[in-house]
Amino acid sequence: MKQQKRLMIIMERLKKEKSLTLQDIMQLTGVSRDTARRDTIKLTDNNLVIRTYGGISLSNSFNKIDGYLGRTDQELQVKKQIAKEASKLLFEKQTVYLDVSTTISLLPQYLANRNINLAVTNSIDIADQFLKTTSIPTTILGGTLNRESRSVTGGYPIWELTKYRFDISFLSCAGINNQGIYYVHEEDIAMKQAVREKSNKIVLLCDHTKINLSHNYLVYSFEEIDYLITDKKIPEELVVRIGNSKIIYTKENNYD
């Protein structure tokens, strides 16, 4: 069994058990103690788990999706650089959708003097940033409030999306690998698909920590996105899959 498959099995069990001993991992994946130890080190290095005495436990970050408020100070400069690059893709009089994301929540500050027709979002924080930093007309979709992500969820916001046509939409993700683009929650699937259907262009904002990571649900193929903005050079095999012309690096890390 390849390591990536073992890691996925371990994380799935951790969601249920919250903690595992090294012996648990050996029995679960059928590997030796040394291999189990290497797997735990890999998960720890990627901030997916916390090492404990004799094993690992699921960190509060839940599969690297940190508590939304807790993420806002992490690698802030990188997120600002990505948001700034994203702002350059917007043109006058456009209608734009912004998905819930700490990186995307930094985008409004770069749009203060822009003549945008309408901004639509499912994020409380992004709507708040538009109100504080711009005069752009802003709509927040209706729905059930999610305390963790500070966003609206459920079927109603998906239905509301049918009323719009977006010139450009900005999305984040939980991970990217050669297979495509991943998200965490099952409810993400319908929302992201609805955004794709209603958008002329999809721009993915993704810092280097998400590269070569898989997650629970594979939602987008690379053919379904128009641009990927990131901060560090992407492995060549992934560049080939995505398409070099679709990749935009932050100005501070231009690899052209």
CATH code: domain of residue 36? 1.10.10.10
Identity of residue 100: V
Asked, for residue 255, whether it belongs to a domain, the answer is no
Q: 170 and 48, same structural domain?
A: no
Asked, for residue 155, whether it belongs to a domain, the answer is yes
Gyration radius from the chain CA atoms: 19
* pLDDT tens, position by position, 153-181: 999 999 999 999 999 999 999 899 999 99
Alpha carbon distance 177, 107 (integer Å): 25
CATH code: domain of residue 226? 3.40.50.1360
Q: 231 and 111, same structural domain?
A: yes
Overall number of domains in the chain: 2
State the pLDDT confidence band at 61, using cuts at 50, 70 and 90: very low
Asked, for residue 176, whether it belongs to a domain, the answer is yes
* pLDDT tens, position by position, 227-248: 999 999 999 999 999 999 999 9
* The pLDDT value given to residue 163: 95
Structure tokens at 139: 């709509």
- The SS3 of residue 253 is helix
Q: 149 and 77, same structural domain?
A: yes
Asked, for residue 168, whether it belongs to a domain, the answer is yes
Alpha carbon distance 110, 82 (integer Å): 11
Residues 6+ positions from 110 with CB-CB distance below 8 Å? 83, 84, 86, 87
Please give the order of strands across the beta sheet that includes 180-183.
175-177, 180-183, 217-220
Asked, for residue 63, whether it belongs to a domain, the answer is no
Query: What's the domain range around 10?
Result: 3-58
State the pLDDT confidence band at 253, using cuts at 50, 70 and 90: low
CA distances from 79 to 187, 224, 230 (A): 25, 23, 9
Of the candidates 225, 229, 233, which has an alpha carbon nearest to the alpha carbon of residue 201? 225
Burial (Cβ within 10 Å: 0-12, 13-18, ≥19) of residue 61: middle
* pLDDT tens, position by position, 1-42: 888 889 989 988 888 877 888 899 999 999 998 899 888 888
Residues 6+ positions from 71 with CB-CB distance below 8 Å? 102
Q: 205 and 81, same structural domain?
A: yes
In residues, how long is the chain?
Answer: 256
Asked, for residue 52, whether it belongs to a domain, the answer is yes
* pLDDT tens, position by position, 107-130: 999 999 999 999 999 999 999 999
Whole-number percent of the chain with pLDDT over 70: 90
Is 66 a residue whose pLDDT tops 50? no
Q: 53 and 134, same structural domain?
A: no
Asked, for residue 115, whether it belongs to a domain, the answer is yes
Asked, for residue 254, whether it belongs to a domain, the answer is no
Q: 182 and 112, same structural domain?
A: yes
Is 224 a residue whose pLDDT tops 50? yes
Q: 214 and 97, same structural domain?
A: yes
Q: 206 and 94, same structural domain?
A: yes
Is 65 a residue whose pLDDT tops 50? no
